[in-house]
């Protein structure tokens, strides 16, 4: 049982470290969004993807260890939270589990706040771009239409498209 608990503690320490790294990437992403630095936004997205993949792998390992511990304790794994596990194990493991659980919760809460703020910035930016595109497309004059009698009809818009690329 001690071997499983030590393995769980190692996984939790690694997971908290990865979440802290992910939190740092969210902060970098926020700065990139505020400064409209597309290269930094792209780099942040790639870093997030890599870290999320690593977290997923650790999470699967942690779930596997929790299932093994639950089996040893004759408990259902679905109801075995870190808090409940801390109540059922030796005091030296109990304190470490409680501390890591609290730290994990805190980091996840901070990440949630930053994630929502970044999503709001992205949504706002998308709205600005959509508004600009709508403005431009509504003010462009369509190509003139030549009728059989040789007359040219245009609609009353003032804009003119010079190039379709930036």
Domain ranges of the chain: 2-141
How far apart (Å, rounded) are the C-alpha atoms in residues 101 and 89? Answer: 15
- Topology of domain 2-141, CATH: Methane Monooxygenase Hydroxylase; Chain G, domain 1 (1.20.58)
The phi-psi region of residue 76 (left if phi > 0; otherwise alpha if psi is between -120 and 50; otherwise beta) is beta
pLDDT digits (tens, 9 = 90+) for 106-145: 999 999 999 898 888 888 888 888 888 887 777 665 666 7
Q: Three-class SS of residue 75?
A: coil
Average the pLDDT over 21-32 and give the result: 91
User: Which of 54, 69, 70 has its CA nearest to residue 4?
Assistant: 69
The pTM (predicted TM-score) of the whole model is 0.72
Query: pLDDT tens digit string along 57-113?
Result: 999 999 999 999 888 888 888 888 888 888 888 888 888 989 999 999 999 999 999
Give the C-alpha separation, 151 to 58, whole Å: 72
Least confident of 10-14, 48-52, 131-135: 131-135
């Amino acid at each position: 049982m001690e071997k499983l608990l030590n393995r769980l503690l190692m996984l939790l320490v690694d997971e908290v470290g990865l979440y802290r790294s992910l939190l740092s990437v969210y902060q970098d992403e926020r700065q990139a969004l505020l400064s409209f630095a597309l290269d930094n936004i792209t780099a942040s997205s790639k870093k997030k993807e890599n870290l999320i993949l690593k977290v997923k792998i650790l999470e699967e390992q942690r779930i596997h260890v929790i299932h093994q511990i639950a089996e040893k304790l004759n408990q259902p794994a679905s109801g075995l939270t870190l808090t409940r596990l801390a109540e059922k194990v030796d005091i030296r493991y109990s304190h470490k589990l409680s501390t890591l659980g609290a730290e994990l919760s805190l980091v996840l809460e901070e990440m949630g706040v930053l994630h929502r703020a970044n999503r709001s910035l992205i949504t706002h930016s998308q709205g600005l771009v959509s508004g600009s595109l709508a403005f431009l497309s509504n003010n462009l004059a369509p190509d003139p239409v030549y009728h059989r009698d040789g007359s040219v009809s245009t609609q009353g818009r003032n804009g003119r498209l010079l190039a379709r690329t930036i």
